[in-house]
Structure 1
Amino acid sequence: MQTIRLKTSSTADERARPGPGRDLGPLLAGVATAVAGTGALLALTDSGSSLRGPFALFFLIAAPAVAIGLALRGLDPFARVLTALAGAVALDMLIAQGMLATHRWSWRGGIVTVTAISLLLILLVLMRPVERILERTSRRAGKIRSS
């Protein structure tokens, strides 16, 4: 008989370890969300703040990157981040190109469009488990009816 030993992951050890730096991931995610939201708000209200440009640029990259990153659950973290950032830049460029081609360029329209597409992608990713549940229940209902 062969004994198989399980190795504990380093993330499990880090979670069990008390002390500073343990909850750094959620804290950074919250700060990034606050900065991105502030950037969108400052840009849409046409604020004269010097932080408007950098924060709005962060929003224009972070919002689609998060949406694309959520859709790429199967990749390893580095590939997921790299692909999400590349997809975010490509999406921003496609939106800008589409607005320029139709002669409807406006910075407010760009921010609203990026927000809408990012929210749509997030909604589609979050609805994916609901579709699986509905498929399972319809299969079960079909089995019950055929019996």
Structure 2
Amino acid sequence: MLAGAATTIAGVGAVLALADIDSPLRAPFTLFFLLAAPAATVAIALRNLEPVGRVLASLSAAVAVNLLVAQGMLAVHRWSVPGGIAAVAALSSLILLLVLVRRLRGRTARRRVS
């Protein structure tokens, strides 16, 4: 139930920022999205770590992804809030896709050996 609430808050934050809707909840929900989306995907990738280490590593990775997106957009003079939200969402989706593909390949390789 907590994961569903977090996903809803993050989704609402992304929609509020992308649609440019003025709301007092826009800033905190968008900030939550910018931290939660990359952190969740990295936490899925690091499932073999201990919980405290996984939380610290995933939050650090989320901050690093956000800084890299911001620096990249500033370097090419294409900074925009909706663009940053979209770039973070795309990178988070890409990380999740790579993790899922790696897991599926690992299962197939194990089945072939057996």
The equivalent residue for 1:135 is 109
What SS does the aligned partner of 2:58 have? helix
Indicate yes or no: 2:14 matched with 1:40: yes
Q: Any stretches of 5+ residues in structure 1 without a counterpart?
A: 1-26, 141-147
Question: What code does the residue aligned with 2:18 have?
Answer: L
Which TM-score applies when normalising by structure 2? Answer: 0.93
Write the distance in 2 (CA, Å) between the matches of 1:115 and 1:60.
Answer: 8
The one-letter amino acid paired with 2:10 is: A
* Cα offset, 1:69, TM superposition: 0.6
For 1:17-36, list aligned pairs within 5 A: 27-36=1-10
**Is 2:74 the counterpart of 1:100?**
yes
Q: Distance in 2 between matches of 1:138 and 1:108?
A: 45
Deviation at 1:138, TM superposition (A): 5.7
Aligned amino acid, residue 129 of structure 1: R
Within a 5 Å distance, the mapping from 1:1-147 to structure 2 comes to 27-136=1-110
Q: TM-score scaled by structure 1? A: 0.73
**Which consecutive residues of structure 2, in runs of 5 or more, have no partner in the other structure?**
none
From the CA coordinates, give the structure whose radius of gyration is larger.
1
Q: Name segments (4+ residues, structure 1) moved above 2 Å.
A: 133-140
Sort the Cα spacing of 1:84 and 1:40 in 2 relative to 1 into closer, same or farther, 3 A: same
Which letter does structure 2 place at the counterpart of 1:49? S
How much has 1:126 moved relative to structure 2?
Answer: 1.3
Percent of counterpart pairs with the same letter?
54
Aligned pairs, number: 114
| Structure with the largest fraction of helix | 2
Look up the SS of the partner of 1:64 in the other structure: helix
